[in-house]
Structure 1
Amino acid sequence: MFLDGKFKKGADKNVPYKSASELKGLFTKDIEETFKNGFARVEVKNHFDKHFCDFTIQQFLISLGYHSFDELKEEERSLIYKCGRFPVWDEITEEPVSVSI
């Protein structure tokens, strides 16, 4: 679905990428920009939920020493989720990956 352009915004929505390497290049550039100052800082306009699921965000924050969303500085809290709403920390779990064959 990514290659088909399903997740693009605006007029580019549903316009396919030319190749998988073009898409990978955009992801790589975006992730490098997001974390250019290291993993301990949250960059403006690059929300964690753009790249990660809730569980990965939670595990990343735990690796930095956080035990809940309440422990984050206010300026960091507003940049973690684009919508500004946080899931319930204790309800975040890793879901198993199901493969359909």
Structure 2
Amino acid sequence: MPDSRSYHRTKMQKELIIEKLKAKGCRITKQRCTLLDVILEHECSSCKEIYYKASGVDETIGAATVYRMVNILEEIGAISRKNMYKVVYSETCP
């Protein structure tokens, strides 16, 4: 059974990231939400791994979409490639 604190933290992280994306002018699409869920719920070590997990959920997601989303998340400071695509954005981040 999943830890409710972990679920709550992940949900809050997702909401904070979505707000940051909106502030940057990004549309919040179903595909972007799916990619966020995959990144938040799994420890992915590459864009290719994110792509395989995400395409299992939504087969319309392409590799280019994954790369673009990862770049945007890196630009807003939500993830770090040095941190194996783990979300680094939290309530204490600017």
Instruction: Decide: shared fold, TM above 0.5.
Output: no
Which structure's residues are more often strand, by fraction? Answer: 2
Give the TM-score of the pair, scaled to structure 2: 0.34
Which structure's residues are more often helix, by fraction? Answer: 2
